[in-house]
Amino acid sequence: MAAHAGAPASAAHGRLDAAERRRRVRRSALLFAVIAAAFYFGFIAMMLVRAAR
């Protein structure tokens, strides 16, 4: 299971072992955080580029 504070870890949960699941959870969470940040800074950058023209 993932970086879990409350629920009991169960390696039996799913076909993946706990460590692999934790890695996947972290990787996909980071990926989506990067996408969100890209939208945030991307729109501001787009406005800056537009203003510079």
Using CB under 8 A as the binding rule, whether residue 50 contacts another protein is answered as yes
Instruction: Report, in Å, the least distance between residue 46 CB and another protein.
Output: 9
Q: What tokens appear for 33 in the block?
A: 């955080």
Residue of 29, 21, 30 lying closest to 7 (CA atoms): 21
Instruction: Report, in Å, the least distance between residue 15 CB and another protein.
Output: 5
Scan residues 8-47 and list those touching another protein (CB under 8 A).
8, 10, 12-15, 21, 24-25, 28-29, 32-33, 35-44, 47
Helix, strand, coil % in the chain, rounded to nearest 5:
65, 0, 35
